[in-house]
Structure 1
Amino acid sequence: MLFKDYLLMVLTNYQTEKETQYSKNKLADSIRNEPLSIDIISNLDSTKYKISASAGNGQWAVIPWLSIYDRKITESAQKGYYIVYLFTADLSGVYLSLNQGYTFYQKNYAREDPKKKIELVSKYWQANLPFLKDINGFNSNKINLNYKGTGTVLPKGYELGNIFSKFYSTNDLQKMSTDKALSQDLNYMITVYQELKESLYTTFDKVNAHIVKGQSLYKLTEKIENKKSKSVNKDMILIENPTQIPTNLEITKPKNLGNTKRKPDYINNLERNTKQGLEGEELVIKNQIDILSKDSKLKEYVDQIKHLSVDEGDGAGYDILSFKKDTKNEILEHYIEVKSTKSGIETPFFMSSNELEVARTKGKQYSIYRLYKKHKNDTEFNYYIINDPYNNIQKEPSKYKVLPSKKQKD
């Protein structure tokens, strides 16, 4: 069965079957079990994602659904963030939605207006996830499940919990001859879902608590924010010229380190990474100021260099906006992502899905400055530059573990 046929099966038969007994109903069984044999669903990594669908629990649901859970966030429609196909109550269509478990808010904010809390969290992510763009039918608008009854609050919870969605009418699905468009849309939604996941500094419940208090996840503690201006070691320098890009590196799988119950120290890790990242970025800022200042045509753009990661946060997909000349001597914006390590040249680095997508769209105007040390205690960083990195890296989706590719394209 094609996935579009599965969706149409629910839309065209659900109303009739709701008038019959729920127990042992063939449609209810198909809604639950059929997705596991449909390619675009069954091809998802089962170690990473859990698939669940429901037509009700003991009785017919007002809103049948099919959910995809990242196991590291949640495995239940009652809590956390997940992708869900939500069929409207009037069966006019189905939403592909990045959504939240409303039951969590009912339990944890029973006396504090759970509807207001879940909506607050939805709006937070709508304002802070860079991939939420109104393209190809996707948007962050409110969804309408067309439920007119009063017997359950779940439809309203789904509507308020929606972060990002796309609607397919029955007519839209009937026009499809293959699952290609549905597959592309699901892959895009998974990219958005992973972007949200990468923004979580700890478990979703702690993140939610942080958001409903009106605190930004990008400013976790005053302690970290106050240290930003003091974080850079002024003795650190960047060598004058870049080194050659290494082309003999291979991404290797990590050794099995065994089971450990020690929890990561999120605050200390963030503090350490913030300090090291800012050191590298400030060194590249100085490098760019120096390069532009020495060029008669570029020097007038020095004042327009921007430290985006500090001025506007991490959502841009690059750290620094600078300028460079193309082969025709025309001035172009230069988008620079800085990746620094206190280890050696062979150390892989990580890119978020957002950074990778921005690198793809910016092409040859996007560069990675990879800073590294020959010796751990050195006071100078060496560096190499990967131009057009989307086409010039090896990557492993973990976020993305990255090394230069063996053959660099022009």
Structure 2
Amino acid sequence: MLPEQLSSIFRTKQKSYKMVLILCLIDQYEQTNSFSFPLSAIAERFLAYFQENSRQGIKVDSPPPGIATYWSEFNLSKTLTLLKTPFDALSSILEVDYDQKIVSFRADIANKLDKDVILELKEYALNELQNYNEKLGEPKVSLHSALSEIMNSYITARSQTFAGHQLGTLFRQTIPEQLRSLSYMDPSYKIQGSVGMGNWATIPWIAVMDKRITDTTQHGEYIVYLFSEDMESVYLTLAQGVTVPKDELGKKEGYQYLEQKANELRKLLPLEGMQKDDGINLTSRSGLGRDYQVSTVAYIRYDRDALPDDDQLLADLENVVTNYKMYVDHVLKNKGNDEEMPPKEEKGSTSLSSLNVPEQIEQIQSYISRRGFHYPNGLIENLYLSLKSKPFVILAGVSGTGKTKLVKLFAEALGATGDNHQFTLIPVRPDWSDPSDLLGYKDLSGAFRPGRLAEVLVEASQPANQHKPYFICLDEMNLARVEYYFSDVLSVIETQEWKQDRIVTSKLINRESLLPEDQSVYGDLSIPDNVYLIGTVNMDETTHPFSKKVLDRANTIEFNYIDLQQYPSLALQEEETLLPVHNSFLRSEYLQLVDVYADYTDLVHTTTEKLVKINHILEEIHSHVGFRIRDSICFYMVYNQRYELLTPDEAFDLQLLQKILPRVQGSNLSVKRVLLKLLEGTLGRKLSSFSDLMEDASNIDQEWNDDQEEKKAKHPLSARKIAFMLRRLEEDGFTSYWLS
């Protein structure tokens, strides 16, 4: 068996030079029985191999570009220069004395070279050379062409339709297939590229993952090409997944963990030819680009205007793959001994989904579609972002649009069902008039009789369940006055604060009023950060309106526009195995604007400036918003930018629709004027007939409601809703967001 120093000398191969050189050394040894050889003799044998095979038409490596086109043009002097590269690559076993013009095996290696070892080394070199030469006839992977195309066309592509774009095919199929064909890629590697999920990613990437340690870019270590936001450069990196460390440890501790891990890997691996510093520069903004920079262990930077040739790019990739293999071997060898990421929450024994946010959203959509239900585009992304911003959402619409079913299917897709008690449906009754119907009450003996909400909160608060999301659907919640039966919960939601890395609220039930036997169970009852409240409401005249106290604390998602010509697919679809998610997928990470301001300063300023303009309009009817709504909208926009689910205009459109327009109602001219000014903002242009519309807005359709105008509108969903509210005002003398 070959000694360890010899068994891996061909692991990294840019060309066949090393294999040919070793064979030349062995041939010379067999003639002289010496382990020290004249450089000229080795150079002659080396050149003769390539010239003779080329003359016979046998495929061999071409000479280095820029030196000669054919081996017949090569001479001994050029060959001696060329041999410096494989000599350096084999410096662990060879020594070269350029003054004496001698090359020899290192003394510690020569002592191990008996006849059996030499024979095995010769067979090793011959096999590697044969396998290498057989691949020379295969189509060559051109990383240079692929990377150039991406950097030269991506910025333009961002302004084009996302679906079906050729760059998506290049990232998801063409490049991964080419990389899989490389001889040094393990067949079990997962190779994946991404330009975003539904919208163009700010930082597109192509990753190579060893599935034994990770199959997602969300956590673990992997190789990844990261493209800078300005497309001036691309980085070949050894990187770490950042999503799970940030979600489970919090941003500050998550970054500290990643930086510590990066330093450990830099000491463990050779990482020759790679930068081992913090100089990677993907973006000047915060968000995913900043996360990627923190998580990078080492990198090689390529600038768009100085991109190396394919030989260099492929050699660099093989070098990084070699380091990655060394790391994976180390992890597997020391499994159970290495320090793992310190968990903040007990994960339990159940396997959890390792999908990143866009992948998980796509799986939720697929799950709902397979069950024959269809919802408007962007609704699932909106529901996710709304819950992430604040764990209280209202689904509004006419009866029969599938609001309750949406909550149930969304929860099921995340592993929360009625059977495991993580999904609870609570129908609201018209006679509910105080919180006891939800939370519970004391009977005549003084014993506490918990309501259904209290029972769920008790279970969700158990330490063993804190990593699981719990969904509570308050069905038809406006059949009774929400302010009466839900007031305690609304007040407590606003008391959220960080305590020992968890989000907690104040207590829901007065501990002192309970009997001793009830105090241990219900005395400390609060709303834990793994409980999500979703109310459904029917928008008609039979229900109670919402006060601003409720609207300030919720995202109100309306879907009244139903396409009845959506039919279930008759094709058989394979059932997917859905893994439950960790609560970090949904849990809020920001409670105050200061939590995001440093990292998302520009986005906070841009969003706030838009709200200031809207507030100037709303002040006329005393419906302007305060800090609570500003912060909530900023959080929504930050999460959207971070996970790249919607375009910025689409996200702000939804926040206008959900946080601003529900506040507008009334019957006077001031309300009409406010709606028309808001309409101008959503259309992105001035209304040419503003004064005429103030007199009579019944023809608002002519100004707005046609397909071409809708496509041109900056915020089409809000514009369409405003147009509807104006028509109701004109026809009925009163308007409200809640009128169907």
* The structure with more helix, counted as a fraction of residues: 2
TM-score by length of 2: 0.26
* The structure with more strand, counted as a fraction of residues: 1
Higher-Rg structure is 2
TM-score by length of 1: 0.46
